[in-house]
Amino acid sequence: YENVRLVGGHSRCAGRVEVHHRGQWGTVCHDNWDLADATVVCRELDCGEPVDALSDAHFGPGSGPIWLTVTCVGLESTLKN
Q: 18: pLDDT confidence band, cut at 50, 70 and 90?
A: very high
For residues 46 and 67, which has the higher predicted lDDT (pLDDT)? 46
pTM of the model: 0.83
Question: For 21-61, how does the pLDDT look when each residue is reduced to its tens digit (9 = 90+)?
Answer: 889 999 887 677 889 999 999 999 999 999 888 877 788 88
Cα(30)–Cα(17) distance, integer angstroms: 11
Q: 69: pLDDT confidence band, cut at 50, 70 and 90?
A: confident
Contacts for 12-20: CB closer than 8 Å, 24+ residues apart: 12/45, 12/47, 13/42, 13/45, 13/47, 13/48, 14/59, 15/59, 16/57, 16/58, 16/59, 16/60, 16/62, 17/41, 17/70, 17/79, 18/62, 18/64, 19/67, 19/68, 19/79, 19/80
